[in-house]
Structure 1
Amino acid sequence: MVLPCSLLAQAGAQRAVLRSLASPAKWVQLVQKPQTQRFQSTRSSTTANSYKLSHPQAGTVASPYRKKFAAPPPITAEEAVSNILYNTPTSKAPVESKHILDCLAQDEPGVLSRVTGIMAARGYNIDTLVASKTEVPGLSRMTIVLKGERMMMVQAKRQLEDLVPIWAVLDYTDTKLIQRELLLAKVSILGPEHAIPQVRAYRHSKEEMAHDPVYEETLASGGGAAEAADQHHHERYATTPSASESLLLSHRNLKALRELTSLFQGRIVDVSAESIAIELSAKSERVDAFLSLIRPFGILEAVRSGLMVMPRSQQLSMYEDDPASDDVTGQATVVDDTMLPPG
Structure 2
Amino acid sequence: MLRTLLRTTTPAVRRCQPMRFYTSEPRSATSALSFKKHLRQRRFGPVPAVPEPTVEDAVNNILYNTPTNTGEPASRHILNCLVQNEPGVLSRLSGVLAARGFNIESLVVANTEVPDLSRMTVVFNGRNVQIEQARRQLEDLVPVWAVLDYTKTKLVERELLLIKVSILGPEHLHEQLPTAKFDDEAEFADENLAFHATDEKQMTPSETLRETFSHLRALTELTRLFDGKVVDVSSDSVILEMCAKPSRIDSFMKLCKPFGVLEASRTGVMAMPRSPVHDHYEPQTDHSYEDEAVDLTSLPPG
Same fold per superposition (TM over 0.5): yes
**1:286 Cα deviation from its structure 2 partner:** 0.4
For the 8 Å contact 1:201–1:233, the answer to whether it is kept is no
Distance 1:114 1:201, change over 3 A: closer
Aligned counterpart, 1:104: 82
Which of 124, 128, 132 is the aligned partner of 2:110? 132
The 1:200–1:106 alpha-carbon spacing in structure 2 relative to 1, beyond 3 Å, is closer
- Contact kept, 8 Å, 1:201 with 1:230, in 2: the verdict is no
Deviations 1:66-107 (A, max 9, x none): xxxxxxxxxxxxxxxxxxxxxxxxxxxx97420000000001
Deviation at 1:242, TM superposition (A): 3.1
- What residue in structure 2 maps to residue 306 of structure 1? 268
Distance of 2:189 and 2:256 partners within structure 1: 37
Tell me which residue corresponds to 2:244. 282
Is the CA contact (8 Å cut-off) linking 2:82 and 2:117 kept in structure 1? yes
- Greater relative contact order (Cα < 8 A, sep 6+): 2
Amino acid at match of 1:260: L
Give the aligned partner of residue 164 of structure 1.
142
Q: Which amino acid aligns with 2:151?
A: T
**Size of the alignment, in residue pairs?**
207
- 1:243-258 aligned at under 5 Å gives the runs 243-258=205-220
The offset of 1:201, in angstroms, is: 9.9
Aligned residue in 1 for 2:96: 118
Q: Does 1:183 align with 2:183?
A: no
Q: CA deviation at 1:273?
A: 1.3
Counterpart of 2:127, as a letter, is: E
Deviation at 1:257, TM superposition (A): 0.5
Aligned-partner Cα distance in 2 for 1:138–1:102? 17
Residue identity (%):
52
Which one of 288, 291, 303 corresponds to residue 253 of structure 2?
Answer: 291
CA 95–199 in structure 1, closer or farther in 2 if over 3 Å, else same: farther
**What CA distance in whole angstroms lies between the structure 1 residues aligned with 2:211 and 2:188?**
33
Q: Distance in 2 between matches of 1:115 and 1:313?
A: 28
Three-state SS of the structure 2 residue aligned to 1:123 is: coil
Mapping for residues 75-86 of structure 1, pairs under 5 Å: none
Following superposition, the deviation at residue 122 of structure 1 comes to: 1.8
Q: Tell me the alpha carbon deviations over residues 268-297 of structure 1, each in whole angstroms, 9 at most, x when there is no partner.
A: 111111111111011100000000000110
Q: Contact between 2:85 and 2:116, CA under 8 Å: does it hold in 1?
A: yes
Q: Which amino acid aligns with 2:80?
A: D
Amino acid at match of 2:141: L
Two-structure CA RMSD over aligned residues (Å): 2.9
Provide the rounded CA distance (Å) in 2 between the counterparts of 1:186 and 1:130.
22
1:150 to 120, 128, 131: 128
The answer to whether the 8 Å contact 2:246/2:269 transfers is: yes
CA offset at residue 307 of structure 1? 0.5
Gaps of 5+ in 1: 1-93, 204-224, 324-343
Matched to 1:246, the amino acid is T
Question: Match of 2:204?
Answer: 242
Cα distance in 2 between the residues matched to 1:100 and 1:157: 11
Give the counterpart letter for 1:187 in structure 2. V
Distance (whole Å) between structure 2 residues aligned to residue 160 and residue 124 of structure 1 = 14
Following TM superposition, by how much is the alpha carbon of 1:182 offset from its aligned partner in structure 2, in angstroms? 0.6
Structure 2 unaligned segments of length 5 or more: list them.
Answer: 1-71, 284-302
TM-superposed CA distance for 1:120, in Å, is 1.6
1:201 and 1:239, CA in 2 relative to 1: closer, same or farther beyond 3 A? farther
5 Å matches for 1:174-213? 174-197=152-175, 199-200=181-182
1:233–1:168 distance in 2 versus 1, CA, 3 Å: same
Contact 1:200/1:230, CA 8 A, preserved across alignment: no
Q: 1:151 to 1:300 in 2, by over 3 A?
A: same
CA displacement at 1:195 relative to structure 2: 2.2
Aligned equivalents of 1:263, 1:316: Cα separation in 2 = 33
Supply the distance in 2 between the matched residues of 1:305 and 1:137 (Cα, whole angstroms).
Answer: 23
1:201, 1:229 within 8 Å by CA — same for their partners in 2? no
- Deviation digits for residues 42-73 of structure 1 (CA, Å, limit 9, x no counterpart): xxxxxxxxxxxxxxxxxxxxxxxxxxxxxxxx
Report runs of 4+ in structure 1 exceeding 2 Å deviation: 198-203, 225-242
